[in-house]
Amino acid sequence: MKKSVLSLLGCAVALGAQAQLINGAGSSFDYPAFTKWSEAYGAVDSAIHINYRSVGSGAGQQLLLKETVDFGASEAPMSEDNLARAPGKILHIPVLAGGVALTYNLPGSPKLKLDSATIADIYLGHIQHWNDAKLAALNPGVALADLAIIPVHRSDGSGTTFIFSDYLSTVNPPWADTVGKGTAVKWPLGIGLGAKGSEGVAGQVRQISGAIGYVELAYADKNQMSFAVVKNAAGNFISPAPGSVLAALVAAKIPDDFRFSMVNAPGDQAYPIAGLSWVLVYQHQKHADTGRKLVSFLRWAVTEGQKLSPDLDYAPLPAEVQQRELQLLNTINY
């Protein structure tokens, strides 16, 4: 009996010592940051643990609408229809700014230049070989293989797809008229391969000679993959990097609700395929303890957490944007 009582007491102590879970889900674009933030925030408040699942932006939005997670994460702002379906007002809190890299698998790993027309034509199936004359014209002196192009795209609802398709819809009328933009789009039949998550796209490109795919820059760097420099609105070929993403962000006009696009931004050094990722939260938190812990974490993420961004291939949010977000977080009630 004495042993049983001691065992029960031990279990109670162990349960009491467990950190409170804050559950989030959504964008694979965000996964590297939330992994690092969860670890770093443990030193700030060891009483909570951020449990984040990389399921895609579309799934993250739907899980929040069903109230099965404490927060969603998405590189696509929620549509008016989805906001109207929500059981309460949803706030968009920008947490990350990043670039979408065009990665490829070619012999010799040449550094390629691409522009909006060639990117669109590759994914529309109009350019089918790497030694196509249009690609050769952009890359004089580069030995381009006589190799079939295998475009890889996301098969799940994806904020990375939203940024990629938002860019092409903005700069390429044929794309806007056929494929359009969204977290999920109607890819041309028979063109390329689908893969789940940025992890899946990166994996397919690494395995298939001649493949090209779009992923958040962190995935390209982590997997030591080649990626293209892309012609921007000023006519310069720019590499995705925290500095070129920041140049795009500071050129953007940011509304009070923080729902905006920063693709094809003006500026000599702005990377054109760049976007934000938002944490999506209910303005009224039904569970006070969890809500307060979540808001405390978000206050840290949009300020101190931004200091970790460059090492993770994201651009830190400017101080003015951080202050505006803190004001928005002040409107959350419990």
The pLDDT-based confidence of 19 (bands split at 50, 70, 90) is confident
Q: What is the mean pLDDT of residues 5-16?
A: 38
Give the start-to-end residue ranges of the domains of the chain: 20-97+276-329, 99-250
pLDDT of residue 324: 98
Mean pLDDT of the chain: 93
Global pTM value: 0.91
Other CB atoms within 10 A of residue 251 CB: 14
Which 8-state DSSP code applies to residue 312?
Answer: G
- What the block records as the tokens of 21 is 């879970």
pLDDT of residue 189: 86
Residues 6+ away with beta carbon under 8 Å from 7 = none
Which of 242, 256, 254 lies closest to 307, judged by CA?
242
**Identical topology for domains 20-97+276-329 and 99-250:** yes
- Percent of the chain beyond pLDDT 90? 90
The pLDDT-based confidence of 311 (bands split at 50, 70, 90) is very high
pLDDT of residue 37: 96
Taking 60 as the threshold, does the pLDDT of residue 11 lie above it? no
pLDDT of residue 222: 87
Q: Please give the CATH architecture assigned to the domain spanning 20-97+276-329.
A: 3-Layer(aba) Sandwich (3.40)
Please give the CATH superfamily to which domain 99-250 belongs.
Periplasmic binding protein-like II (3.40.190.10)
Element (H, E) at 39: helix 31-41
pLDDT of residue 18: 72
* 317 neighbors 61 (Cβ within 8 angstroms): no
Taking 50 as the threshold, does the pLDDT of residue 9 lie above it? no
**Rg of the chain in Å (alpha carbons):** 22
